[in-house]
Amino acid sequence: MLIDNMIKMMLKPAMKKSFGFSEIEIGEFRANDERDELITYGEGILKGSTEVVQITSKPQKLSDNSETVDLFIKRIYDEAKDKGIVINRIIQSVLRFNFKTNKIETVLYYINGENQKCKTKFENNF
């Protein structure tokens, strides 16, 4: 929960500033480890508007966003450990904050302890 709140505190102001939102409904990090790529996605109301729009950032290098990615990865590993999931390597992960419902969803594509590709999904309140 603490990590969720830390990421939420970082994500919401950053998205308002970078995307020009006055109100955010959904904020999302999409990390692809195989391509060293981080994409931020947002859904909300832009300043001076009333309609909901979707905006996706240009891909950035995961390595250039180490603070955000470290929190993101720690959250994923903690969540997987709580569920008894063994992760050898993360392939791709999505962290989605729904500010309307106060829910956080994690979708994870990974290689497990037996070297198999797997997908799992977690959902919590924040």
11-51 residue pLDDT tens: 788 888 888 999 999 999 888 888 889 898 999 999 999 99
Q: Would you state the pLDDT for residue 49?
A: 92
Residue 54 has pLDDT above 80, yes or no: yes
Cross-strand pairs, 119: 109
Q: Would you state the pLDDT for residue 14?
A: 82
User: Rounded to a whole number, what is the distance in angstroms from the first to the last CA of the chain?
Assistant: 6
Angle at 123 between CA 13 and CA 46, to 5 degrees: 30
Average pLDDT over residues 61-87: 82
